[in-house]
Amino acid sequence: MAVALISFSLLACGVSPSVAQEDQSFQHFIWQRDESNGMEVAMSTGEPAFNFFDVGNLSPNSLYLVQQVLGDISRAAGKKVDRSLTSSSIAVFHDTNVFLRLKNDRAAFTTLGIPEHVIDDLKGRITDDARCLSNTRTDAKGNVIFTVILLSERFNDCLVSGLNYSFGIRASNVSIATLLSVCVLYEGRNRGLRDRQSLSREAPKLRDLCLAKAEAHSPDG
């Protein structure tokens, strides 16, 4: 996967600002009703820094990818991966027996900070052919709290989808379009723009800002 600054810089020449804003970025946003005012808001995380872990007998197959994906997304969002933080908001359990352990060994998850109700939710979704499950929790205002991803095979698209979801983005990969959506979402959040109407109104300005940032990071910028 390309380094984020290189990938993000490609936005400057890969996307036209004249293209319909909502059709391009809003398709990646995940909407939730704000319980305090009833407005539809885009899910996102408000924390400036975060930590994660990737454990299990298959984790050597995914750790580098997880690091790369989170690095790309976090830089586009203006966030920081801080490995010194004592708690993690993104948990990846990558193990051949992860679903068996989920059924029979709750302590393997609770000791790593996974709440009981999240374990119950994941257990209730296990099927005979389950290979990957994820669960992202938000508060009443659409702020992402944490994400748990369970994976029992070497790779599954659900892994990258779950990592994107942890930032409020619905996508199965990390692409130029995905990174632009991340930037628009978080530049909007930084300005207090989270509801659909406000984001739609300001989307052209946010997109132009993101393209300007991308050009500044480009080798020729």
Q: Which two tokens stand for residue 12?
A: 């400057």
> What confidence category does residue 103 fall into, taking pLDDT thresholds of 50, 70 and 90?
very high
Cβ atoms 25, 207 nearer than 8 A: yes
Predicted pLDDT of residue 218: 64
How is the chain split into domains, by residue range? 38-178
Q: Do 169 and 74 touch, CB atoms closer than 8 A? A: no
- With pLDDT > 90 as the criterion, what percentage of the chain qualifies? 84
Which residues lie below 8 Å from residue 55, measured CB to CB, with a gap of 6+? 92, 93, 94, 95, 112
Give the up-direction half-sphere exposure of residue 160: CA atoms within 13 A in the CB hemisphere. 17
If you average pLDDT over every residue of the chain, what do you get?
Answer: 90
pLDDT (average), residues 185-213: 95
Return the sign of the alpha-carbon dihedral for residues 189, 194, 198, 202: positive
Q: Which residues contact 20 (CB under 8 A, 6 or more apart)?
A: none
Read off the tokens for 26. 């809003």
**Buried/exposed 190-211: b ≥16 CB within 10 Å, e otherwise:** eeebbbbebbeebbebbbebbb
Mean pLDDT (whole number) for 198-202: 94
Place of tokens 């990737």: 54
What's the confidence (pLDDT) of residue 220? 59
> Pick from 136, 178, 174, 159: which is nearest to 43 by CA?
136
- State how far the Cα of 33 lies from the Cα of 55, in Å rounded to an integer: 33
Comparing 1 with 168, the larger pLDDT belongs to 168
Lowest mean pLDDT of 49-53, 82-86, 139-143, 209-213, name the range: 209-213
Q: Residue 24: its pLDDT value, please?
A: 73
Q: Per-residue DSSP letters for 49-86?
A: EE-EEEESTTGGGTHHHHHHHHHHHHHHHT-EE-TT-S
Question: pLDDT band at residue 3, thresholds of 50, 70 and 90?
Answer: very low
CATH number for 38-178 (one of 1.25.40, 3.30.420, 3.30.379, 3.40.50): it is: 3.30.379
Task: Check if the beta carbon of residue 6 is closer than 8 Å to that of residue 13.
Answer: no
pLDDT tens figures, 153-191: 999 999 999 999 999 999 999 999 999 999 999 999 999
Check pLDDT > 50 for residue 57. yes
Mean pLDDT of 18-29: 66
pLDDT for residue 128 is more than 80: yes
pLDDT surpasses 80 at 13: no
Whether pTM > 0.85 for this model: the answer is yes
pLDDT classification of 18: cutoffs 50, 70, 90: very low
The alpha-carbon radius of gyration of the chain (Å, integer) is 18
Edge to edge, the sheet with strand 52-55 lists: 52-55, 90-94, 144-151, 132-138
